[in-house]
Amino acid sequence: MEYNFKEIEKKWQQFWKDQKIYEVDIDKNRPKYYVLDMFPYPSGAGLHVGHPLGYIASDIFSRYKRSSGYNVLHPMGFDAYGLPAEQYAIQTGQHPAITTEINIKRYREQLDKIGFSYDWNREVKTCDPKYYKWTQWAFIQMFHHYYDNKANKALPIKELIKQFETSGTKDVDAACTKELSFTAEEWLNMSEKEQQEVLLNYRIAYLADTMVNWCPKLGTVLANDEVKDGVSIRGGYPVEQKVMRQWSLRISAYAERLLEGLDTIDWSDSLKEIQRNWIGRSEGAEIIFPVKDSDVEMKIFTTRADTIFGVTFMVLAPESELVGKIVTSEQKAEVDKYITDTKKRTERERLSEVKKMTGVFSGAYAINPLNNKEVPIWISDYVLAGYGTGAIMAVPAHDSRDFAFARTFNLPIIQVVVPEGEEPADVSQWDDAKDSKEGYLINSGFLNGLKVPEAIERTKEFIREKKIGDVKVNYRLRDAIFSRQRYWGEPFPVYYKDGMPYTLDESELPLELPEIDKYLPTEKGEPPLGRAKNWKTKDGYPLELNTMPGFAGSSAYFLRYMDPHNDQALVSTEANQYWQDVDLYIGGTEHATGHLIYARFWNKFLYDLGVVCKPEPFRKLVNQGMIQGRSNFVYRIKGTNTFVSYNLKKDYDVTPIHVDISLVHNDILDIEAFKKWSPEYKDAEFVLEEGNKYVCGWAVEKMSKSMFNVVNPDNIIEQYGADTLRLYEMFLGPLEQSKPWDTNGIDGVHKFLRKTWRLFTDREGKLLVSDDKPNRDELKILHRTIAKVTEDIERFSFNTCVSAFMICVNQLSELKCHKREILEPLLILISPFAPHITEELWHLLGHTSSIIDAPWPKSDDQYLKDDTVVYPVSFNGKMRFKLEMPADAKKEELEKAALEHEAANKWLEGKTVRKVIIVPGKIINIVVS
RNA sequence: GCCCGGAUGGUGGAAUUGGUAGACACGCAGGACUUAAAAUCCUGUGGCCAUUGCGGCUGUGCGGGUUCAAGUCCCGCUCCGGGUACCA
């Protein structure tokens, strides 16, 4: 009987399902281990071979941990809300819930065929009301909490109200949108509406007028991580800046904790670095510059307070509130025009014209508090309203943007830092600002002669003494815009009374997404929910029309898996205490600045509330590399329907066109199939090369439908089986590396499985396995494999595990070893990688329970050591011959044996031995000259 | 620009702490079995030179260095990939 993967895989997948093998529960007698995959967004295209890479790795690890005695939680679900389903709904009128359900079903079928050990009983879908009830619940909690900087955690907003009632803002130190100042009396005299407005300034989930990324084409605002290079990540549509009243989450309050937490978790350095950059902590000073002939003060943030004597002008962001207060009547017209002009520029235009400086003089002057000099205040969009105070002191000599601005508008430049080993230079000769990280100060009054770090300290002291500013830490991380003007997302549990937002009572959750007639904004320009009939509370108050963004549903799903059917809480204390946190999270690095920040924030908030017991949700995180596609091209001669083969194309003017890789084998085009592929090519003609072949070009690109290079796992499974797919994806190379999909090596791993099979049965299907005692050689092969594979799984080196299996099976085949004592442990080792074939053989050996619960074999040291060591003997570092010696040979014996070996003569002749280096068990190196 | 990765045969890759570079697999070449094919098995396979034999030289992107010994460590570059960018 040959290895029949089709029958075997179907049979055992059914068995696992029937026996509920993968369902887990709290078991206090066993340690827990939580292995999580980033759940997929179920797109219409289905899974391609890139998706399962991480899933296979995590599945191997889960099975390995389970076999090692852990109670393993390994769940899966679907990130089911999102833009593509809604865009599709707009085009077809089909309800996104229907397409989403169809796509999920297809994903599920594809996943099931690969043989994953998911506990599907714990499946979550973010669009399921039973699930999003808890997304809404968390939002309500955020609405009713504020961030207390003294306690350094979220506290109930009731506490803040109490403080307002007794002492106003006097002792309040809370994260807020705008610094407010009022007395208890003033607070008590405010109307309810005014009080609510004040509270929004402190709530962790708050509504405020903020500068947002507005994408007209998608008809919605986007968060910072959803925009790149001035266009939306989904769809690539232009994005502009606009002030809108939007929900935001005060994630910036957690910036420091999000940064510090990185030091406590086991993530790749690159991922941590991306998050650190995104959080963007910078230490500096806030300094107040009074405005001349006015009581307005200009507060600026700088990391280089020491260069303050080099300030020759100030710059305000066009959006800054100060602009209106300081602009002089003579300059007003010009300033207004500039502001209108900058508003019209899209984010993309701003970015593409980085080098071109624009700006306008405000007419006002600021006074440098250190030397009392007057400097002009300019307005320019190179200063961002959202960072720091939206105003800067410009030091053109040492900042290239300020330098460019000064040159454009002919403003003076004063050098204040001279780099080590240089002389003060003539600034008019410079073509860029001078680096000022190291050096000493000049033209700087009391700072003259000081080194940069000393000067920074002195300036800070001075600022504090004179009370003209303060030392301050700034973060780049902005609050997360949380509203989307979209249909297919979680509704906010919010209604409006007198224009102010209030949350629904928890008992009214979930607030279900209503049906609407069209998935488009209303005529009045309201979001799609404006079309819903009766979209109001039972008391008649209108409900929020925005929905939540994609990251809402994925921010706490890892907690829900711990207790997915609980309708009383997001997660019970008992379940959370047991499962605690994710021990291993595998997923792509593309979520570094989105999901992985939001989820950490969300978790920390719940930690502050005492809902969860761990401050960090993902203890270890491994990024799997991308599997890229290998695309093929045909070359059409411009203006014709004639295609020219790859090696002849240089003689023609051609356009490369992607061709579906299923029409190409080893880069040779199947011409007939190509003609049938599209009516456009029915009458195509071809210029062929030698052998009448049409050779295609190729490139490694992203795997995507539009490139016609998608490889579907179902086809591979059909041809080779799931076990081969699993092994091959691992064999391809290190998990974390990106690599193009190429089926060239797949025969090798398939052959390996057949070879493994043949250790157990002969051609007729008769079991060959015997109960004979294994000899030392066989035990050595086994135990070395156990040691190697165990170690390699622990360090996520799955590709080397596969080669270790191959070596082991090759050696056992050579020895014709069919002994149970060897083969049984070997099966267990292979089972996490190839669960189906090993389950079949396991049962053939007479077992009746699943191999997944067979205890992981332990290697025995006595088989790992050899009695002898084959020493490489080198002369001056070059290996010349090998010498077999007893493992316990002394250094002197080794030296003697090496020097007396006959092969050594040749290398010793006419030379003097200077030194002999012996590393026992490793190497002998003889230094001669 | 800045930050982080990476570069090893025809190909994917291995070498975990500085200690035999190229494991394992693909591909290729030759052979066995077979009427034939498939399947399977065996041999060879970095380059150059010598092949009558032992063998020798060279070789991990480039240039230098440390060391008895460097793919691995240090310095300087080149190229590729990723992140980020008027962040003061």
Closest nucleotide relative to residue A746's CA, C1' based: B26
Give the nucleotide at minimum CA-to-C1' distance from A385: B87
Parse chain A into domains and list their residue ranges: 150-252+482-531, 281-475, 627-701, 716-860, 868-928
- Nucleotide showing the shortest C1' distance to residue A389 CA: B88
A705 is in an annotated binding site: yes
Specify the amino acid at residue A565. H
Task: Give the closest nucleotide to A805 (alpha carbon vs C1').
Answer: B24
Q: Which nucleotide is nearest to A391 (CA to C1')?
A: B88
With contact defined as beta carbons under 8 Å apart, do A452 and A439 qualify?
A: yes
Residue A191, phi-psi category: left (phi > 0), alpha (psi -120 to 50), beta (remainder)? beta
Closest residue to B81 measured CA to C1′: A738
Q: For A716-860, which CATH superfamily applies?
A: Isoleucyl-tRNA Synthetase; Domain 1 (1.10.730.10)
Q: What one-character-per-residue DSSP string does A378-395 give?
A: EE-TTS-TTSTTSEEEE-
- Residue at minimum CA to C1' distance from nucleotide B4: A270
A743: the nucleotide nearest its CA (via C1') is B26
pLDDT of residue A690: 65
Place of tokens 């902005």: A478
Compute CA distances A529 → A41, A485, A532, A666, A778, whole Å.
23, 9, 5, 52, 70
Instruction: Judge contact between A258 and A107, C-beta under 8 A.
Output: no
Check if A281-475 and A716-860 are the same fold: no
Q: Which nucleotide in the DNA or RNA is closest to residue A394, CA to C1'?
A: B88
Residue A878 identity: K
Q: How many CB atoms lie within 10 A of CB A357?
A: 18
Measured distance CA(A189)–CA(A168) in Å, rounded: 11
pLDDT at A236: 78
- B13 C1' closest Cα residue: A733
Could you tell me which residues are beta bridge partners of residue A878?
Answer: A875
CA A279 to chain centre: 14
Q: How far apart are CA A755 and CA A71, in angstroms?
A: 33
**What are the tokens at A516?**
């609407």
Closest CA to A172 of A157, A192, A185: A157
Question: For residue A391, what are the CA distances in angstroms to A289, A387, A669, A918?
Answer: 10, 9, 61, 67
pLDDT at A61: 96
Distance A514 CA to B21 C1' (A): 66
Q: Closest nucleotide (CA of A917 to C1')?
A: B68
Q: Which nucleotide is nearest to A927 (CA to C1')?
A: B68
E strands, A588-663, in order: 621-623, 627-637, 642-644, 654-659
pLDDT for A1: 60
- What is the structure's pLDDT at A694? 79
ipTM > 0.90, yes or no: yes
Give distance CA A289 / C1' B66 (Å).
54
- Identify which of A278, A295, A297, A296 has the alpha carbon closest to the alpha carbon of residue A287: A297
Q: How many CB atoms lie within 10 A of CB A332?
A: 13
* CA-to-C1' span, A503 to B15 (A): 61
According to CATH, what is the number of the domain A868-928?
A: 3.10.20.590
Place of tokens 């307070």: A305
Q: What is the pLDDT of residue A750?
A: 94
How does DSSP classify residue A84? H
Among residues A407, A388, A387, which one has the least CA distance to residue A396?
Answer: A407
In 3D space, the residue among A57, A80, A62, A65 whose CA is nearest the CA of residue A126 turns out to be A80
User: What is the pLDDT, as a whole number, of residue A630?
Assistant: 77
CA atoms of A74 and A94, how far apart (whole Å): 33
Distance from residue A926 (CA) to nucleotide B8 (C1'), in Å?
27
End-to-end CA distance of chain A: 64
Nucleotide nearest to A728 (CA to C1'): B25
Collapsing DSSP states into helix, strand and coil, what is residue A125?
A: strand
Residue nearest to nucleotide B2 (CA to C1'): A277
Can you tell me whether residue A820 is helix, strand or coil? Answer: helix
- Is residue A81 a contact partner of residue A126, using CB atoms and an 8 Å limit? yes
Helix (H) or strand (E) holding A668: strand A668-669
With residue A603 as reference, give the H or E element that holds it.
helix A595-609
Is domain A281-475 given the CATH code 3.90.740.10 in the classification? yes
Query: How far, in Å, CA of A511 to CA of A129, rounded?
Result: 8
Q: What is the pLDDT of residue A348?
A: 61
Give the pLDDT of residue A598: 94
Cα separation, A840 vs A7, whole angstroms: 10
How far, in Å, is the CA of A738 from the C1' of nucleotide B80? Answer: 13
Tokens at A442, concatenated: 């000049």
Rounded distance between C-alpha atoms, residue A393 and residue A468, angstroms? 14
Nearest residue to A876 (alpha-carbon basis) of A912, A901, A921: A912
User: Whose CA is nearest the C1' atom of nucleotide B86?
Assistant: A382
Place of tokens 């002898």: A868
For A813 and B39, how far is CA from C1' in angstroms?
A: 17
| Predicted local distance difference test score (pLDDT) of residue A355 | 65
Tell me the three state secondary structure of residue A520. Answer: coil
CA of A631 to C1' of B12 (A): 18
Report the distance from CA of residue A734 to the C1' of nucleotide B38 in Å, as an integer.
Answer: 34
Q: Which residue is nearest to nucleotide B67 (CA to C1')?
A: A877
What's the per-residue H, E or C state across A835-895?
HHHHHHHHHHCCCCCCHHHCCCCCCCHHHCCCCEEEEEEEECCEEEEEEEEECCCCHHHHH
List the A698 CA – B78 C1' distance (angstroms). 26
Distance CA A929, CA A915 (A): 10
The 3-state DSSP composition of chain A as helix, strand, coil percent (nearest 5) reads: 40, 20, 40
Round and report the angstrom distance from CA (A646) to C1' (B61).
28
What does the block give as tokens for A579?
């499962």
Q: Which residue has the tokens 């002008």?
A: A313
Q: What is the 3-state secondary structure (H, E, C) of A260-282?
A: HHHHHCECCHHHHHHHHHHHCCE
The protein residue nearest nucleotide B14, judged by CA to C1', is: A800
DSSP category for residue A515: P
A762 CA to B35 C1' distance (Å): 26
DSSP assignments along A316-354, one per residue: E-TT-THHHHH--TTTHHHHHHHHHHHHHS-HHHHHHTT
- Strand ranges (E), A174-239: 205-215, 220-222, 227-228, 231-232
Please give the pLDDT value at position A605: 97
Residue A383 CA and nucleotide B1 C1' are separated, in Å, by 18
**Minimum-distance residue to B56 (CA–C1'):** A880
A505-536 burial, b if ≥16 CB within 10 A, otherwise e?
Answer: eeeebbbebeebeebebeeeeebbbbbbeebe
Residue nearest to nucleotide B54 (CA to C1'): A903
Query: Among all strands, which nt has the closest C1' to A400 (CA)?
Result: B86
Report the alpha-carbon distance of residue A730 to residue A714 in Å, rounded: 17
User: Which regions of A702-761 does DSSP assign to beta strands (E)?
Assistant: 739-740
Identify the segments of chain A with pLDDT beneath 70.
1, 346-355, 665-667, 690-691
Q: Which residue is nearest to nucleotide B69 (CA to C1')?
A: A877
Contact A33/A70 with Cβ under 8 angstroms? yes
Residue A499 has which token pair? 């224009």
Interval A309-363: pLDDT, tens: 999 999 999 888 888 899 999 999 999 998 888 877 766 666 666 667 889 999 9
For B24, which residue's CA is nearest its C1'?
A803
Instruction: Return the pLDDT at A195.
Output: 96
Q: Give nucleotides in strand B with any atom < 7 A to a protein C-beta.
A: 3-5, 11-16, 19-21, 23-27, 39-42, 56-57, 68-70, 81-88
> What's the pLDDT at A253?
94
CA of A758 to C1' of B35 (A): 28
CA atom of A739 to C1′ atom of B79, Å: 18
To which H or E segment does residue A495 belong?
Answer: strand A494-497
Maximum CA extent, chain A: 106
- CB A364, CB A291: distance < 8 Å: yes
Among A77, A132, A103, which residue's Cα sits nearest to residue A558? A77
Contacting residues for A320 by C-beta, under 8 A, at least 6 apart: A379, A385, A390, A391
| SS3 state at A228 | strand
For residue A28 the two structure tokens come to: 């206090």
Give the tokens for residue A791. 């170690």
